[in-house]
Amino acid sequence: MSDSPSPIDPSALNHTPLDGWHRALGARMVPFAGYAMPVQYDLTGALAERCKGGVMAEHLHCRSAAALFDVSHMGQAILSGPNVAAALERLVPGDIIGLKPGRQRYTLLTNEAGGILDDLMVANLGDDRLFLVVNASRKEVDFRHIAASLADGLQLELQDDRALLALQGPRAATVLARLAPSTASLGFMGVAPVTIAGIDCLVSRSGYTGEDGFEISLPATGATALAEALLAQPDVVPAGLGARDSLRLEAGLCLYGNDIDEVTTPVEAGLTWVIGKRRKMAWDFPGGIAIRDHLDNGPPRIRVGIRPDGRAPARAHTEITAEDGTEAGEITSGGFAPSLNAPIAMGYVRRDLALDGTRLNLIVRGRQLPATVVPLPFVPHRYAR
Amino acid sequence: MPKKNTDKRFTKDHEWVMLDGDIATVGITDHAQEQLGELVFIELPELQREVVANEACAVVESVKAASDVYAPLAGKVAEINDTITEDPSIVNNDAEGEGWFFRLELDDPDSFEELMDQDAYDEFLETL
């Protein structure tokens, strides 16, 4: 077998506040974005009766009940000051000025070429304070970029001393309401301060799985207590990065570095909806001209969902050809969908090949595997509405 | 002289081998299937394919990743176990029995003796 994991040098990696907790639960740790992170768990005892652990089982448990993810490696920060929303609008195409207090929005940091520096969540906490959550692999780049853009009076405060937990699944709301009844009235993409198990948290109703769920920001010192309180609920199992990736892929959600990057425009990525209506009149954000050009003239390539015909998964960097043998594009994320019991992939294809139903060939281990362009998401979203 | 050697032998890549005359049956060990997790796809070598020792000749995929399976010894693929391509979970459930992958007609049956036995493999696992 070619798959022996190499041992992690503990001194070379960062650790989240739940590092010891993961290991005690039987987590298999891997390096990710400079952190030791659980990829999956070998559960034992009472927890193993809820779920046997492993990527497949954790994934399926999320879609049938509730899964708890540690995403403390991600970057959290507070951007504050007079007219802070207008200040952020100088860096993103979204409507931030119109984002009401207690509401959150998905947006993109763009560059002058119209490419994507990162995707992130922005929440309006009121009092001219915005709460930002960015990808772990990009947090240094993002925060440097944002800090460099700030006029006097504006402040970016990094929150290295906070943890971030995600509770996702159809039972997540019931579980959290037992511990914090006020969360029952938190709508999709709402944000509110909530005390859970005696800890002051900031809770948003959102996630990266396509399921209903919450992302909970809290002081690092409270992370273990909160994780224990959530795990004490019989519906909940811990889930690692393996399941996090298969869930988001089924949900058709982009992974920065795979599906979106500095040389991909929001139009190519199918993220045009991120551009606010008012912003489409002024185009006053980095890369506005290039992005407008893609919108007006059509982008050269488009992100699509792809379903291989057979059982063989086709993974990132797999070459795609058209039926006539010409170059069509490349897979950017691919794997196996536990909820569909079939392989799925996302990738970019020439605009003329992006229609649903288009037949393609995937070059896997030197062979042509037929596949079809299909709509995203692969598994319907079940957000709280 | 053909002999049936009921010993199981092992490779450092976590394949097991059993010999019957000059036909070697090959699979992946229970340790390997446990490390890989639930298998979702298996690709076996073509019949009659000639392989050398340590040549990658089969593929197993879990949700997360693909892994190569290597020929433990040189030979020719004489038989493949289609049941595991239909249902990869057979390998997870019985890796060292029903979950066999392929059979090789060995170029040199004596080379089987050079592989690790169960005790040596168990010791090897301790070092990982």
The pLDDT value recorded for residue A4 is 47
CATH assignment at residue B42 = 2.40.50.100
Using a CB-CB cut-off of 8 Å, the residues of chain A touching B43 are 312, 365
Cα distance between residue A140 and residue A107, in whole Å: 18
At residue A92 the predicted structure's pLDDT band, cuts being 50, 70 and 90, is very high
Burial class (CB in 10 A: 0-12, 13-18, 19+), A330: middle
Question: Could you report the per-residue pLDDT of A169-196, keeping only the tens digit for each?
Answer: 999 999 999 999 999 999 999 999 999 9
- Spell out the alpha helix ranges (H) of A153-265: 172-179, 223-231, 241-250
pTM: 0.95
- Residue B36 · residue B60 · CB < 8 Å: yes
* B1 touching chain A per CB within 8 A: no
Q: CB-based contact (8 Å) between B38 and chain A?
A: yes
ipTM field: 0.90
**Cβ–Cβ under 8 Å, residues B106 and B112:** yes
- With CB atoms and an 8 Å threshold, state whether A55 touches B67: no
Instruction: List CB contacts (< 8 A) between B62 and chain A.
Output: 55-56, 336
What's A68-237+250-299's CATH class?
alpha beta
Q: For residue A40, give the chain B residue with the closest CA.
A: B37
What's the CA gap between A170 and A65, in Å, rounded? 6
Is the pLDDT at A81 greater than 70, yes or no? yes
Q: Give yes or no for a contact between A203 and A183, defined as CB atoms under 8 angstroms apart.
A: yes
**Among A83, A148, A71, A80, residue whose Cα is nearest residue A109:** A148
Q: Where are the beta strands (DSSP E) in A258-352?
A: 301-308, 319-322, 327-337, 342-350
**Phi, psi (5° rounding) for residue A197?**
50, 40
Q: Do residue B62 and residue A40 have CB atoms under 8 angstroms apart?
A: no
**Residues B37, A2: C-beta atoms closer than 8 Å:** no
Residue A184 β-bridge partners: none
Q: Nearest C-alpha of chain B: how many angstroms from A201?
A: 32
Verify whether the Cβ–Cβ distance A365 to B13 is below 8 Å.
no
- By the CB < 8 Å criterion, does B123 face chain A? no
Arithmetic mean of pLDDT over chain A? 96
Are B76 and B48 in contact by the 8 Å Cβ rule? The answer is yes
Range of the domain at B19: 4-126
Q: Are A29 and A23 in contact (CB under 8 A)?
A: yes
Chain A residues lying within 8 Å of B15, measured CB to CB:
1
**Sequence-ordered list of residues with C-beta below 8 angstroms from that of B109, at least 6 positions apart, any chain:** B19, B21, B22, B24
Residue-wise pLDDT for A282-318, tens only, equals: 999 999 999 999 999 999 999 999 999 999 999 999 9
| Residue A319, SS3 per DSSP | strand
Name the region of A357 (left: φ>0; alpha: ψ -120 to 50; beta: rest).
left
Assigned token pair, A304: 């699509």
User: From the list A56, A335, A343, which residue is nearest B38 (CB)?
Assistant: A56
pLDDT at A385: 83
pLDDT at A147 over 70: yes
Whether chain A has a CB inside 8 Å of the CB on B122: the answer is no
Give B40-96 pLDDT, tens digit per residue: 999 999 999 999 999 999 999 999 899 999 999 999 999 999 999 999 999 999 999
Identify from A2, A8, A309, A315 which residue to disrupt to test chain B contact, counting B C-beta atoms within 10 A and taking the largest count: A2
Give Cα B12 to chain centroid, integer Å: 11
The DSSP secondary-structure symbol of A187 reads P
Q: Where are the domains of chain A?
A: 68-237+250-299
- Residues B64, A311: C-beta atoms closer than 8 Å: no
Residue B64 and residue A246: Cβ atoms within 8 Å? yes
Q: How many domains does chain B have?
A: 1
Inter-residue contact B71 to B102 (CB < 8 Å)? no
**% pLDDT > 90, chain A:** 96
